[in-house]
């Protein structure tokens, strides 16, 4: 099988990460893959915000507290050790203007490029939705402002990146999802 198709087949979502950080070279290649994703009308409006270290911890804390308060997001009784990105050492937030009809799709294309690039480099990844669910919660939005994410942007999705701690789930693909009328 050609290596692109093999990579698509082999990529998995990981939900346990080691503490070890990915290299700057890996990060740059992964970001480049995101930047090369297609966008509706060639708008290229997705913004990629890389969080590591203290900034990433602050986002995890803000998301946890936002769920507990339930302000502009679903109220959830999350435990003290809840970290939506599984303590992965890097998170890339992918955001777009909430008024762009294609914003969600553009971000999803970029994220899939990111996941495939990561898999090809031996970097584990997972889509993390909680920054989206809490995008309008005041605590989280204040951090987005500090990170200079444009005010009219929604973080449509994010990519946790790091090294796998354990094996991913082996998920069979549901049959019967292709129609050829």
Residues that bind ligand FMN (CB under 6 A): 12-13, 15, 126-130, 168, 171
For residues 10 and 82, what is the distance between their CA atoms, to the nearest angstrom? 28
For residues 136 and 8, what is the distance between their CA atoms, to the nearest angstrom? 33
Identify which of residues 127 and 147 has a Cβ nearer to ligand FMN in the complex. 127
The distance of closest approach from Cβ of residue 78 to ligand FMN in the complex, given in angstroms and rounded to an integer, is 13
Identify which of residues 66 and 128 has a Cβ nearer to ligand FMN in the complex. 128
Residue 49 forms beta bridges with which residues?
93
Cα angle 30, 23, 145; round to 5? 65
The distance of closest approach from Cβ of residue 117 to ligand FMN in the complex, given in angstroms and rounded to an integer, is 15
The distance of closest approach from Cβ of residue 129 to ligand FMN in the complex, given in angstroms and rounded to an integer, is 3
User: Computed over its alpha carbons, how large is the radius of gyration of the chain?
Assistant: 17
Secondary-structure percent of the chain, ordered helix, strand, coil, rounded to 5: 40, 20, 45
For residues 127 and 40, what is the distance between their CA atoms, to the nearest angstrom? 21
The distance of closest approach from Cβ of residue 24 to ligand FMN in the complex, given in angstroms and rounded to an integer, is 26
Identify which of residues 84 and 139 has a Cβ nearer to ligand FMN in the complex. 84
Identify which of residues 45 and 157 has a Cβ nearer to ligand FMN in the complex. 157
């Amino acid at each position: 099988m050609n290596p692109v198709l093999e990579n698509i087949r082999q990529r998995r979502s990981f939900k346990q990460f080691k503490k070890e950080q990915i290299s700057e070279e890996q990060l740059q290649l992964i970001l480049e893959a995101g930047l090369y994703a297609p966008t509706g009308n060639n708008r290229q409006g997705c913004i990629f915000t890389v969080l590591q270290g203290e900034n990433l911890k602050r986002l995890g804390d803000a998301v946890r507290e936002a769920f507990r308060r339930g302000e502009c997001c679903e109220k959830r009784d999350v435990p003290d050790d809840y970290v939506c990105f599984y303590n992965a050492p890097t998170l890339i937030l992918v955001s777009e203007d909430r008024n762009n009809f294609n914003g969600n799709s553009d971000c999803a294309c970029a994220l899939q490029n990111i996941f495939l690039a990561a898999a090809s480099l031996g970097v584990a990844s997972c889509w993390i939705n909680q920054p989206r669910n809490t995008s309008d919660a005041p605590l989280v939005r204040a951090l987005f402002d500090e990170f200079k994410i444009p005010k009219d942007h929604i973080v449509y999705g994010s990519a946790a990146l790091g090294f796998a701690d354990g094996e991913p789930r082996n998920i069979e693909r549901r049959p019967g999802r292709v129609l050829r009328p």
